[in-house]
Amino acid sequence: MYLLKPRKDYSCKKLKKANKNAGRYFFSKDTMEYFETTLIEQPYTGWAYWIFVTQEKSIFNQENYIYKIRISYVNGYVDTVLTHLCLTRDAAIMCAEHFAKMFTALDPNIQERVIKFYNEGKE
pLDDT digits (tens), the chain, 123 positions: 333 444 445 567 777 888 898 899 999 999 999 888 988 877 777 666 788 899 988 777 767 788 888 888 777 888 888 776 667 888 888 888 888 877 766 656 666 666 666 566 554
pTM (predicted TM-score)? 0.73
- Residue 44, domain member (yes or no): yes
- Residue 2, domain member (yes or no): no
- Residue 3, domain member (yes or no): no
- Which residues form the domain of 118? 12-122
- Residue 6, domain member (yes or no): no
The residues near 25 (Cβ < 8 Å, ≥ 6 apart) are 19, 31
- Residue 7, domain member (yes or no): no
Distance CA 82, CA 79 (A): 9
- Residue 104, domain member (yes or no): yes
Counting the structural domains of the chain, the total is 1
- Residue 1, domain member (yes or no): no
